[in-house]
Chain A
């Protein structure tokens, strides 16, 4: 197993499958039990180093580490020495001195986990870095798809929205194509990054027409689109964006009957996704959150060499 999870590209198909299988075991070991705790990482220290507010991701990692009996230290950029201007390197050396076995990092700068991995001995887990990647989100998305659809190989997945700024999209493209899915990126041309297929996976397709893609998709994954993007001329208005690229009830009806709707959250209801769609039985949004804990348990367990 690899030592760090900085990018979904760190995972080959065997490693990725092992994580998903292990997540399944974690879910069955802890699910439905009153005591949701396993002793696997007793005595190990996991630091959550969060330079951005992200309650849902931090709580998910914290729950995962605690269910494995690890000691968890939450190190938030707010109200810490970080806000006094301490460098990432000095923070890393501090964590190193405290004996962190794993550091889970969320950071606004792309590549911060790569830098951190040079300065600590423990495992580094990328919990979202800038507009780069969010590999555990991709793993939990893949886990959710596999649970619902029974397979990933050959699965047709549409990822819709602000791909340019989305770390979720980058990680999903890398992981899903590694696992044999067919990914189509959909959005206005302004929000599809340059040379995306060459950059991530030659198997990736690009479309600017959501209506054309929806009927042939097994999974439609909607990305969060910040309405501020319209200030920067990526699209003219939230209304136009929503009409052209939002998943509304009419588009939901055009999806195959078995197809599911995903969203990494937090959602802009009425913008990229209609409330009726978000709350429909086809939506896996709440399931994704629950699966997140199992997947992160599997990642921490495997990276820290748990047996």
Chain B
């Protein structure tokens, strides 16, 4: 009888892992807490560096899913137990399954920008997050600020909730730098007359074509990159967001009035992932993401035989890296069953 694998979380990692596992001939149950698969990608307008529409990427990933994969939606996993050589997995609604292996693809949660109080998210109306901007792009609506005006100047704040000891997140979220470059270009495409500023610590253009996109942002779109972290934002009488920042290359403090301020929120491990990992006795490190047995050689294995990880639950990743990691996890599961 074919082995049964439960995959927890139907974002890009879970979908791709399930698709690959089904190709190996395993019985796969993909469990999702929401009523629809796709995770954060559902709301993402376009992907860097090619600007491929998010829905197109998601459609393609979903298409890879073999109909034999059983979808268990609207089920939040509340319990998991390793019993002899199998796992019992329990959902909040009483759903239960016995699995020969489990792959955790529980993903990430976006940093809650309210926690950076000095940036004024939730207080000043024209302070939004990168996720809010993607939703605005995806809606197809005109790019207006919350006061219904075309912003003449837009600021992007990098590293919001990432590489920040004050909020206890030392890790880099990897994707925000290039996302800011991508979003800044999209803004310039929609509002060619607007001035666009990116406030950064350093720019981590590690992926293929990222550097080229960054160069294009400067040369073709005249986007201004200012090395310096924001100290605070406030609001003027017209609803503009006034930001204070130091240009550390010029060594000068700046005060800039923006019509829209976009906070590039980073990735954090999901609270539920931490709980599950703790219950299973998995090793966790200070950043809270699940620690695989070895980050270089065995990135999908955990210390518990039969329990695997894929995607951003084990650390920030781009969609491309997530999909590769998901396929790698399926190989790891197949390898595990062979032994």
Do A and B assemble together? no
